[in-house]
Structure 1
């Protein structure tokens, strides 16, 4: 598959990488001042300073983690009752490698399945929700493929070279985000740093991964350039195959912002990438997964243009965004077997008005148009627009939010979503939190308009609740978090055959179609902990118990392991040497909805090391799957054995 990504973004909202960085720095400064017992400058709420901000020193306290997934604007993670995990660039770098699943494995409640190696289709599940029920954003732009059958996002096309932060909210939140936010929201921010940074690594299976970033700035502007290259010979996607299936991806991008006035900001991105994936197919006469010479080429681009206003009491952020995904599959003789084109256009405005006494009113409006066409389906489109309002109160140790949203769709009409959360910090440093949220997912264009389509489909719907307790910060000192959750989903869309169904949802000539026939429930617990055993050694881990059930049949949902977790240790010497180890444990699951084909659980061990030569140069390496464990995440598809990788990184 060749993967092009042309990203054109000019945004002044926190969703844009640079605007987000400057806004988050300002908010972190205010929070640090509050933690230190100093009065925060209220003017900073309205007019956050641009560029890098020197935080107020706070002894033994790391910088505040800022999340955009909880409220769409950016808030201290401690001011929301929703469960959120934020993974910063430093942790992404320490884990090493281009594969994002190595980092995502540290998020509670998150599992994934992959068809083959890096670059193959990769679906991410949150708390048992389907991969198409997770809203994925890059710099605040929805990047799901409108031409995909269920309209989901393929994490196989996302590598870590340009990512600065991964922000994951677990739980339904269509109140803020609209369609697709049933299982949760994942926002990936791209890098926007000054100076120069570069890295190069090579290793097993002929793999090479290089990335670089350079940026300059002054008080009024920033311009940065990023680039990355990944190539691997891979291994056979078919577990019983012998022919390697390779993957390559090239990406380059430019980011810029400019202060039009003291309280008005414009920013932008321009990114491109190219990639190629070899895939295995289902050749005659057995039509079972086996070695073939098929390839898939994908052109993807997304971006936004916008403007932000920072007033004393009012913040407004408006933008236009677009995301395109074009795919071409070729057979062994290089003829085109299948083509698809999906496009999303979106205009939105978000705002927040600060009232009095910690009371705020957040509001927003968005209009989105999805379009698609394929080799077998004519051009079609559907529009959806929504408006929301949320009241919030943050005062001292208390934080409460409640809001509602109304969406209107061309075909299914209106959908209303509610959400609320609360957080309270106890005197001993523990924090209790709780949230309730509703989610919905509009039918995909394929489900509505293809030869199997049904234009009478209703949206999928969910209600999730959770309650948790935690203490400390995720990457510092003593940390513990325990969350119990439950999500009920109904009106889930599934494929049905026309025979034997009364009344039939089928149109004349159809032998099968899509219909709202399924219900599901997912419930369980998520635990996360970390402790510094010494000043140099830290142990951390996440564990999740997720019971995901099809409520129509009583079966387990396919490819949703009941038990899974990641445990990792990091040792930092006083002379520049760092060592790390990761243990991933995944329990048994089933490959199919009927629970006929089991997938055995597995354990994987990775080892990491790095050494700093001064402040500007580092060598690093790792061994993946140390014990060469054989395992599957999708029945019939191969997975990598032991791999050894080494590289260098420079900063100036």
Structure 2
């Protein structure tokens, strides 16, 4: 277990990739705070950027493993690569994390709580990850109670560019990816694909049968300038996932179960800029479809399955009446659909949600930025929900010091399953609501070679939906409270060395008043986590690095009767260029073969080694 530590010790000895990638201008621009590109020091919200260089250096396959080294993030995975994985931000439920891929909401309308399963999401096609921590429903609508995880694929290169990679390692694991992109006149675009397969491990900790996994992902982008002021933007993303998993009806145990997923993500938008860019408009249609089929035995017809889709229309306008003032406003309409078959029954449900919002960003003087906004969502089932948010960023010394403060409200609409399921649905459910408060400071020293950040937060959530054993229905029976501290440190004492660190303390507890649960820690959310990472580029071309992650004790259940012991994971990596276009790389994960669990009864990988080659042109 992790013992309590002083903040000064953490700042001097712990690290994370959260600030390892702040060297390029692109990392000073964020999108999740306001829905438009803006400088990081214009917002008072806590945001981490994981850039393409960091993703490449870490050699990480699972997006979840990258997120796990970010402050405020906790995760759980139910076994082998590809198995169900959830991400919690600042102690919120995993279903209260909003996920975007290339700007499209991908939370699954067919899931019990509209959550996103990170299991099939691998890093092959991903080039940038932005994590916003704290409630922000003014900009993002439903589900942004804990925060937002936004993932983007590669931006088309100027001219022509291509890169590819392939690797092999533990448990007969093979992966490969390739991307091609370019720009010719008014047209830019790119396509990419990745493939992954492994024999895996037993998802049941007590099992002996390996659970294999296959994954294919593809992405495409096309942007066409139709004139000086008008452009067309098309994006697409696809995942096919094929997983052997162990039965979860009762304690996890070896079984022949199979899960298949097809996930389709699409975006089509028009962008218009008028009055020398003082007024810009974006109108887009986005589409998500998740088809999930489950088989008790491979090779047979599916025994049950779910299909969820979400068709959205978005309009966003940005008015810049003065250089230091912006007004962002918009309208959204979405129609989530849910279909189920299996066990002798079928079900099909849908809803309509209409939303309007407005957000103002003002800089009264160069060192102060103020943001405030309001949103109203009208749901065809439960009616309306109005949310507010405000934040500020003040720098007295030209950006070397930034003092941040934010207030954010969040709401989450009941899922279609929770509303309409024939056995446990409750059509009278109200939306979950949250209020989130942040106070933080960022300090840059020695011309940016040292960057420190400290954030304190608290979030109260009411009307949280949970299954009520007394009525066998879902109900608004929970209240939760999360508070804590996040600290990060990034050091670059010499150009060749990058050291990054994070520590987060999260006290997330049940406040429902129910005797069996009130005051108990929320499940699978460790109070403390530390991550330390260092990378060194040697003069002869070799790059070496290591990451150490320590996670404290937690519980697997709401009654705090099933403990999960804390753990420490270490990994090392290296890469070496050959010529100007080829790079060899390799890594060892879980170097000391730690035995641990993120979900009780489910297996985890022991020590595992991988090696590969990258090509770029």
Assess same fold via TM > 0.5.
Answer: yes
Question: Which residue, 322, 328, 332 being the options, matches 2:293?
Answer: 328
| Alpha-carbon distance in 1 for matches of 2:571, 2:591 | 6
Secondary structure of residue in 1 paired with 2:303? strand
The residue aligned with 2:475 is 515
Shift of 1:534: 3.0
The aligned runs of 1:212-231 (5 Å cut-off) are 212-231=178-197
Deviations 1:138-172 (A, max 9, x none): 01111011111111000012111111110110000
2:369 equivalent in structure 1? 399
Contact map agreement 1:173 1:184 (CA 8 A) in 2: yes
Residue in 2 that maps onto 1:487: 459
Q: CA deviation at 1:533?
A: 3.2
Q: Does 1:497 align with 2:469?
A: yes
Long gaps (5+) in structure 2 = 1-22, 513-517
The range that moved more, 471-480 or 449-458, is: 471-480
Change (3 A) 1:473 1:570: farther
* 1:251 CA displacement: 2.2
Cα distance in 1 for residues equivalent to 2:524 and 2:164:
37
* 1:644 counterpart SS class: strand
1:545 maps to 505
Name 2:214's counterpart in structure 1.
248
- Counterpart for residue 444 of structure 1: 415
Cα distance in 1 between the residues matched to 2:442 and 2:469: 48
Shift, 1:532, TM fit:
1.9
SS at match of 1:528: strand
Distance across 2 between alignment mates of 1:549 and 1:146: 27
Pair 1:271–1:442, CA change in 2 (3 A): closer
> Deviations along 1:15-69, whole A, 9 cap, x unmatched?
xxxxxxxxxxxxxxxxxxxxxxxxxxxxxxxxxxxxxxxxxxxxx9855521110
Secondary structure of 1:261 counterpart: coil
TM-score w.r.t. structure 2 length?
0.91
Tell me if structure 2 keeps the 8 A contact 1:95–1:102.
no
Residue 202 (structure 2) aligns with: 236
Determine whether 1:366 maps to 2:366: no
**Alpha carbons of 1:590 and 1:61: their partners in 2 closer, same or farther (altered >3 Å)?**
closer
Q: 2:266 aligns with which of 299, 303, 327?
A: 303
Instruction: Give distance in 2, aligned partners of 1:164 and 1:473.
Output: 28
Classify the secondary structure of the residue corresponding to 2:374: strand
Alignment of 1:337-352 (within 5 A): 337-352=303-318
- Pair 1:182-2:145 in alignment: yes
Partner-residue secondary structure (3-state), 1:132 = helix
Which among 74, 84, 87 is matched to residue 121 of structure 1?
A: 84
Alignment equivalent of 1:648, drawn from 603, 610, 613: 613
1:92 aligns to what SS in structure 2?
Answer: helix
Measured after TM superposition, the shift of residue 268 of structure 1 is: 1.4
Counterpart selection for 2:449 from 477, 487, 493: 477
Counterpart in 2 of 1:592?
557
Partner in structure 2 of residue 17 of structure 1:
none
Match of 1:421 in 2: 391
Deviations 1:273-330 (A, max 9, x none): 42210010157xxx43210011001111011111001222101111011100011100
- Farther-moved stretch of structure 1 (413-422 vs 63-72): 63-72
| Alignment RMSD | 1.7
- Once the two structures are TM-superposed, the CA of residue 257 in structure 1 deviates from its matched residue by 1.2
Counterpart Cα distance in 2 of 1:258 and 1:582: 41
Q: Is the 8 A contact 1:377 1:450 kept in 2?
A: no
Q: Is the 8 A contact 1:421 1:434 kept in 2?
A: yes
Counterpart CA distance in 2 for 1:611 and 1:100 is 24
Partner of 2:176: 210
Structure 2 distance, partners of 1:181, 1:473, is 33
Q: In structure 1, how many angstroms separate the alpha carbons of the residues matched to 2:446 and 2:330?
A: 31
Distance 1:390 1:97 in 2: 37
Aligned to 2:378: 408
Q: Aligned pair in 2 of structure 1 residues 231, 643: CA closer, same or farther (>3 Å)? A: same
Give distance in 1, aligned partners of 2:445 and 2:148: 21
How many residue pairs get matched? 578
